[in-house]
Structure 1
């Protein structure tokens, strides 16, 4: 009997050690790329404020707003991931603030993609009126409307959350890790969130798809710049992909809940880390990578800031390329 108990204890300790080792390894593999992506996004944000052309062009202002929301969302998701990996349990008020911040920034991206799609539609279909419709003032007003609309959604969720009788809880300390599912204590809040998310992404997808169809129809006209129309079609397709990836993040928690019921804990933790990286982190860095590589105006300035200046300056001074001229002006 003593030998059997000792053997069972050794097996339990071995499983705990294996789980801990796997958690540490996957946490490192997840956190390092996230830090790299945060650095790239931060550099991209600095790049978007470094030149007057970026601060005075509507589509770059919208891109900055998209990048800002994605960067805050990525940093907040990584913070909650670290808290969960360290097995730290928060109080309900602190977790509620983190979750509401995530909700605010998470809904900014699809709304900004809608504005960016409409801007491309106007640029291709109404090129002569583009400068009068898409102005700096109108862009600023549209961004303020986006943040106000998202803030109203968060405020509504807070009001619904306050309907829950927190005094019935034994303690304000959470029994589980901080997350959106942990804060969904009321059925009404859950139904509201599902309805709002469905309405938001369906509406955004329809607007982007209609913009794409409008650009395709305009491209058949002989008076339309074919090069501009082709670039706009590719950009709108990328917006649809970004919307799809953003929608996939809404099924992250339900998917994990389903998998946790059918898989072993160690395997579940590994799959959770993979899903976290692919569904939560990766889509948040696509905007910086896509626009940083595709846009001919952003790319040379971004590469200049990504590289160490003391290494780049000697190389830039040797070959007077077009990129160097942009950097100097």
Structure 2
């Protein structure tokens, strides 16, 4: 009887523990689905808005022939691609899909290529605003569409060289010694830093890019502030440029913080349970990953007097057609 009671007690204890485990897994699954929807819906909304703004910037010659809008198109294109890439990586991790090293490497390098474009483009846009306020008579001669195109080409070349360097460092890892190319961990940039040299290079490159961009935007802001006190400067134009540069600093700070997103999650996962971690992960993802990629639309799409009516026309064309029934 004692042996039977002991066996039944262990059986019910195991069953109770199993029920608790299943309950936690079910709760975790429900939370994961809920937070995935909460991140996917705003991401799709902003992808639609960004895509509409990209189309708007190619819909009229004035946008294609103005350096400021050409820079905005490059920034918005990079943010839109990176937003779609981040959402794809988020869903892969949420569904617990483990990729192979080549596939993960391709996705990570594509993200690395695009992620450098935003801070460097913000740097060029800040310089353009500085020249427009401080040297208005020479602005048309300095900031031309041709010079802007050359600067954008240099930015993409610089970012591509960084990706090639990372690929060469990654190839030094002895993949032939692995039993399988299937990754044991989820795909992420940190999963590909397989040797100390790659990690050191990644940190040095990221810090140098963001420090350079931060110094450039800050110096441009100070220059605009000094020029705003001059009697020969248009105060309204200087005030608008100063507000734009402040928003660029905020965008740059959020973009810099987004590079530490995965490292921060890894540190938090050591001290918190899975359900709480999923909640924090979704919160950080929306405000650290999605939000910086949507600020370009808010900064220029809604504040720019030339761009805003055209953007609203494409976003709400049915209202425009009702207002002007004869317009095609």
Determine helix, strand or coil for the equivalent of 2:137.
coil
Report what 2:137 is aligned to. Answer: 128
Q: How many angstroms does 1:126 deviate by?
A: 0.8
2:282 matches 1:283: no
- Report the secondary structure of 2:259's partner residue: helix
CA distance in structure 2 between the partners assigned to 1:174 and 1:50 by the alignment: 44
1:208-265 CA-partner distances (Å, limit 9, x unpaired): 1111111111112111111111111111111111110111111111110110000011
Note if contact 2:244-2:299 (Cα within 8 Å) is conserved in structure 1. no
Tell me the TM-score normalized by structure 2: 0.95
RMSD: 1.3
Deviations 1:34-62 (A, max 9, x none): 00010011011001111111100000000
Aligned length: 319
Q: Distance in 2 between matches of 1:12 and 1:231?
A: 57
Superposed, 1:156-235 pairs within 5 Å as 156-235=165-244
Counterparts of 1:294-305 in structure 2, within 5 Å, are 294-305=303-314
Matches within 5 A, 1:242-321: 242-307=251-316, 309-316=317-324
Q: Which residue of 2 aligns with 1:325?
A: none
Q: Deviations over 1:8-55 (max 9, x none)?
A: 111111111111111001101110110001001101100111111110
User: Does residue 76 of the first structure (1) align with residue 85 of the second (2)?
Assistant: yes
C-alpha distance in 1 between matches for 2:325 and 2:305 = 20
Q: Are residues 1:115 and 2:124 paired? A: yes
**Tell me, what secondary structure is at the counterpart of 2:73?**
helix
Aligned to 1:87: 96
Supply the distance in 1 between the matched residues of 2:22 and 2:99 (Cα, whole angstroms). Answer: 27
User: Unaligned stretches of 5+ in structure 2?
Assistant: 1-9
Task: Report SS of the residue matched to 2:302.
Answer: helix
Offset, 1:316 = 4.0
Looking at structure 1, the residues matched to 226 and 26 of structure 2 have their Cα atoms a distance apart, in angstroms, of: 61
1:203 positional shift: 0.8
Deviates more, 1:69-78 or 1:81-90: 81-90
Residue of structure 1 in register with 2:31 after alignment: 22
Stretches of structure 1 that go unaligned for 5 or more consecutive residues are: 319-327
Q: 2:282 and 2:242 mapped to 1: Cα distance?
A: 34
Deviates more, 1:214-223 or 1:131-140: 214-223
1:12 aligns to 2:12 (yes or no)? no
Post-superposition shift, 1:313? 0.9
Secondary structure in structure 2 of the residue aligned to 1:294: coil
Structure 1 length normalisation: TM-score? 0.95
The alpha-carbon deviation at position 317 of structure 1 amounts to 5.3
Provide the C-alpha distance between the structure 1 equivalents of 2:177 and 2:274, rounded to a whole number of angstroms.
31
Q: Residue in 1 aligned with 2:6?
A: none
